[in-house]
Chain A
Amino acid sequence: GQQLNQSPQSMFIQEGEDVSMNCTSSSIFNTWLWYKQDPGEGPVLLIALYKAGELTSNGRLTAQFGITRKDSFLNISASIPSDVGIYFCAGRGNDYKLSFGAGTTVTVRA
């Protein structure tokens, strides 16, 4: 299946910093999802976006569905050590099939 372009590939951040990552696609999606995966575990759903332009928050996480329906971004505010992990974006078109990005690895410096 197609892969989305997710950036950055990795980031080192200072505890307390705000961070941002984004995802772009050549295809239009009806749904954008953001997952977090810890080592040895499966991806856990963080935020789901269903409408172009939608801005949704979940605690310190905020995500937006791009107006073109071809992109999305995720912000983490006031990073803490447990934010370490790999963040995946995923897009879904009309066929219920999810296409995933390659992930952004986040490491927090205490």
Chain B
Amino acid sequence: EAGVVQSPRYKIIEKKQPVAFWCNPISGHNTLYWYLQNLGQGPELLIRYENEEAVDDSQLPKDRFSAERLKGVDSTLKIQPAELGDSAVYLCASSLAGFEQFFGPGTRLTVL
């Protein structure tokens, strides 16, 4: 069974540029999560989807971050414009309903 797929694995951009991350969850998993992981810290939830509905986006900085999961399968997380402090690893995870979450390899973002 294929795991959670994320792309790109690495991204380097200059500040004020836009950036987008893509995630394809494990087949059949209806719940998808985006997490932010800063160096030396555990993951922190940004947004949780159940099918195509964002059921928890309370931690998503909506002034510059947006996400979508239009058909309830893959998802895109966007930052526009990026700031220096956005440098981090962005992790996607999926689960079957509220059961255990399986993580992708992450996208390491560097903002210069």
Residue-by-residue, is A26-40 near B (CB-CB < 8 Å gives 1, otherwise 0)? 000000010100001
A59 interface contact, C-beta 8 A: no
CA distance A41 to B41 in the complex (A): 14
The total number of A-B Cβ pairs within 8 Å is 53
Q: Decide if A98 touches B101 in the complex (CB within 8 Å).
A: yes
When C-beta atoms are compared, the residue in chain A nearest to B59 turns out to be: A1
B97 to chain A, nearest CB (A): 8
Q: Decide if B105 touches A97 in the complex (CB within 8 Å).
A: no
Q: Decide if A43 touches B43 in the complex (CB within 8 Å).
A: yes
CA distance A100 to B40 in the complex (A): 12
User: Which B residues are in CB contact (< 8 Å) with A88?
Assistant: 42-43
Residue-by-residue, is B95-111 near A (CB-CB < 8 Å gives 1, otherwise 0)? 00010111111101000
CA distance A96 to B59 in the complex (A): 15
* Known A-B contacts A98-B45, A100-B42, A100-B43; A45 and B102 likewise in contact (beta carbons under 8 Å): yes
A101 interface contact, C-beta 8 A: yes
Interface residue ranges, A against B (CB under 8 Å): 1, 3-4, 6, 33, 35, 40-45, 48, 88, 90, 95-98, 100-103
- In the complex, given contacts A45-B102, A97-B45, what are 7 additional A-B residue pairs having Cβ atoms less than 8 angstroms apart? A40-B105, A42-B4, A42-B106, A43-B91, A48-B100, A96-B31, A102-B42
